């Protein structure tokens, strides 16, 4: 739907509503779709209509908030998940939250997220290349270049170089 014109995706969604479908994978896709086309109100309606949310639902909503510059709502939802459903959190959840802090240029908020990630349940996320790259990006955007360089140097691996190069290429397009 995202590659189609906006109206087609909205028509598909209205058809789904008329059939009263509650397939969570389909609804998660619509949260993503409406987030990308900047219709956060519809994202929230869909999100709130889902009774048994899974982590993909939460991550879709986190990302929709981030894409729509609703950073406070993104971090509020992340904290709600952490406080009430922490067993659901994935590397992707933390990645979105860290990128949100980078977008906000908020080192204090990022520090809180990183402290939560250092919790024993999530400590292994520190080895994830996408998390490491997000942390480096966040420190760079927040003006702490020395910390960004230190993390980069401590995680020198061919995977990190490839990922960093890919990010630079995507951002330049």
On the 0-12 / 13-18 / 19+ scale of CB atoms within 10 A, 96 is buried
Structure tokens at 150: 């230190």
Claim: this prediction has a pTM higher than 0.85: no
**What average pLDDT does the structure give for the chain?**
83
Q: From CA 30, how far away is CA 36, in angstroms rounded?
A: 10
Residues 83-122 pLDDT 10s? 998 888 999 999 999 999 999 999 999 999 999 998 877 8
Mean pLDDT of 60-67: 97
Residues 121-158 pLDDT 10s? 788 888 888 898 899 889 989 999 889 888 888 876 65
Mean pLDDT of 22-40: 90
């Amino acid at each position: 739907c995202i590659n189609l014109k906006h109206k087609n995706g909205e028509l598909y969604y209205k058809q789904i509503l008329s059939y009263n479908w509650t397939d969570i994978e389909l609804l998660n896709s619509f949260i993503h779709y409406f987030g990308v086309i900047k219709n956060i109100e519809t994202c929230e309606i869909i999100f709130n209509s889902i009774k048994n949310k899974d982590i993909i639902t939460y991550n879709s909503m986190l990302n929709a908030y981030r894409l729509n510059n609703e950073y406070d709502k993104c971090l509020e939802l992340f904290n709600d998940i952490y406080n009430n459903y922490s067993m659901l959190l994935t590397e992707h959840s933390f990645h979105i939250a860290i990128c949100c802090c980078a977008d906000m240029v908020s080192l204090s908020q990022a520090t809180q997220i990183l402290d939560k990630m250092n919790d024993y349940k999530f400590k292994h996320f520190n080895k994830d290349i996408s998390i490491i790259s997000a942390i480096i990006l966040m420190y760079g955007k927040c003006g702490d270049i020395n910390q960004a360089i230190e993390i980069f140097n401590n995680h020198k691996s061919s995977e990190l170089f490839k990922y960093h190069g890919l990010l630079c290429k995507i951002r330049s397009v």
